[in-house]
Amino acid sequence: MLRRLRTDETGSAVAEFALVGALVVILFLAAFQVGFSLYVRNTLIEHAAEGARYGARADATPGMGAERAAELIRTSLSGRYAGHVSASVESEGGAQVVKVTVRAPLPVVGPFGPSQALTVSGRAYAEAQP
């Protein structure tokens, strides 16, 4: 009787390994996807802020700040993330602020996930105030 129970479970370890292995791979890829998306978002925010600081200098223009941000993004990530970089001058509390905005595709691995875009911005007070 005991010998027959052992033979009925023959091959179950292989099926178990395949099911659990597939689940572990899916969970790993999901964690990797979230981590990579956060990395790209944080990098874009940092480069937008650096571009705003560059464009806010007294001897620079906001357009130069947008160019600087796009150059940094192309260097550190990829050219596809630097396609839509713009700069503007806004007034906040009576002071001029240079704002660099970056709109980039959301980095998605595989066909699954949202098809939206990331929009981040960096701000810096302009050195030459009116």
In a domain, 63, yes or no: yes
Angle at 27 between CA 21 and CA 33, to 5 degrees: 135
What residue spans of 56-120 are helical by DSSP H?
62-76
pLDDT-based confidence at residue 113 (cuts at 50, 70, 90): low
What is the mean pLDDT of the segment spanning 78-93?
Answer: 90
* pLDDT of 46 higher than 80: yes
In a domain, 93, yes or no: yes
Phi, psi of 30 (to 5 degrees): -65, -45
Please give the mean pLDDT across all residues of the chain: 86
Number of domain units in the chain: 1
Contacts of 101 (CB under 8 A, 6+ apart): 48, 85, 86, 87, 88, 119, 120, 121
Tell me the residue range of the domain where 59 lies: 8-125
In a domain, 130, yes or no: no
- Residue 3 in domain: no
pLDDT of res. 18: 87
Inside any domain, residue 103 = yes
Phi, psi of 85 (to 5 degrees): -120, 125
| pLDDT score of 32 | 87
State yes or no: pLDDT of 90 exceeds 80.
yes
- Report pTM: 0.79
Digit-coded pLDDT (tens) for 1-18 = 555 555 566 667 888 888
What tens digit of pLDDT does each residue of 49-77 get? Answer: 999 999 999 888 999 999 999 999 999 98
